[in-house]
A = this chain, B = another copy of it.
Amino acid sequence: MERILAHYRVLCRADEAADMARAIAWEQTVEVVEAAVPWPDVRERMVGRLEELHHDGQAAHIYLSFNPELAVERIAPLFTLAYGNASLYPNVRLMGFRVPDRLASAIGGPRFGLDGIREATGIFDRPLLCTAIKPRGAPLEHLTDIAYRYALGGGDIIKDDQNLAETDTATFRRRVTAIDQALQKAADITGRRCLYFPHIYGAGSELHEQLECLTDLAIRGALFCPLNLGMATCKQAARDYNLIAMYHPAFAGAFTQPRDHGIAADVLYGTFYRLAGADISVFLGPGGRISLSAEENTAIHHKLIQPMGLRPDDAIKPTLPCPAGGKTLEQIPALIKLHGKDCLLLVGGALLTLDPDISIGTRRYIDTIQRHVPIEKNNQYFLKR
């Protein structure tokens, strides 16, 4: 049976490495002292197994394997297995995580993925553009005007700012309906529909009311903050309501920063967001005040796009990478160079303020994207898929 593989880096002395490996292997599985597991077969089956251990002078590199049964084919228990209690240890970072094909298939990953979004937008040959509806507190006419002009200018996807939220579903519905209508008004002119991802933040019956509102309006996608709402909840909501799921990075910095604790950016935004059903994974592009490095961007991109499994029939769909974080028009060529054709460029304030008429600012972003479409790089990904 193939096993789950996890690589932890732990800042500790070389003579502490074996103890740390043992602590994590037991903590993440049976979470108890050895004396409380008297059955050799339970130890053998359940406790994490040390596959490799070395120390690089600064940190121990601990490679554990886990029985995939522990994840019961679900994202929440898998996430707990990977890092739930390990987070409580000082200086432990999850650097790599691989699940067997069969487990990945059972969990499922994205429903639409990169190709589904290509189909939904009708754009197959260039990076896609996204902006955000903001700011919170602005008059509704302003928010609908952003949507209208952005769509008129040729924008592909528009999402709610994750700060948009209401005290009741009726107000939520009124706002989402108005924005949807503005996009339809633009589509009547352009002949092409800009996709809209409203922010979903409810729990219990309110969650379902918000999702039903999207169904009523035939809205195709939704924006979720999976590290606040729960990855499993977001995944299930998208599945139950047949939505293209865009996952926001809110709270991701708690995991990815600083770099000697938490979870490596490519594992969180790549492996976990993808397994948790992200059709679009939003993360920080390089070169801003809040940003991830170019290397981290490349690593995330690979985790989102490249085959996850070894057997083609078990492979889960690729997720569309979405670098974000205040990107100016001048940064677009470098972003495309880094991410290739298959990405969604999320630009908020820089796009909205480029020109007094947002449709003109949008047009300039789309033109820039079209002028910088890479041909070569992307074929690699298609070949690998």
**What is the interface of chain A, defined by CB distance below 8 A to chain B?**
23, 27, 29-33, 35-37, 39, 42, 45-46, 70, 72-74, 76-77, 79-81, 83-91, 132, 134-139, 161-163, 165-167, 201-206, 225, 228-233, 235-237, 239-240, 249-255, 257-258, 260-263, 284, 289-290, 325-326, 348-350, 352-353
Contacts and interface: CB of A to CB of B under 8 A. Distances in A.
B32 A349 contact: yes
A90 B201 CA distance: 26
Contact of A289 (B23, B31, B87, B202): B23
Contacts of A42: 135, 137-138
Nearest to A44: B137
30 contacts: A27-B290, A29-B135, A30-B135, A30-B136, A32-B348, A36-B134, A39-B139, A42-B138, A46-B136, A46-B137, A70-B163, A73-B167, A74-B202, A76-B201, A76-B225, A79-B251, A80-B251, A85-B249, A86-B253, A87-B254, A88-B249, A88-B325, A89-B253, A89-B289, A90-B258, A203-B230, A203-B235, A204-B233, A228-B231, A258-B261
Contacts of A86: 253
- Of A135, A235, A290, most buried by chain B (CB within 10 Å of CB) is A135
B254 A83 contact: yes
Copies of this chain, tallied across the complex: 2
A230 B231 CA distance: 8
A355 to B, nearest CB: 12
Nearest to A67: B137
B76 A135 contact: no
A201 B252 contact: no
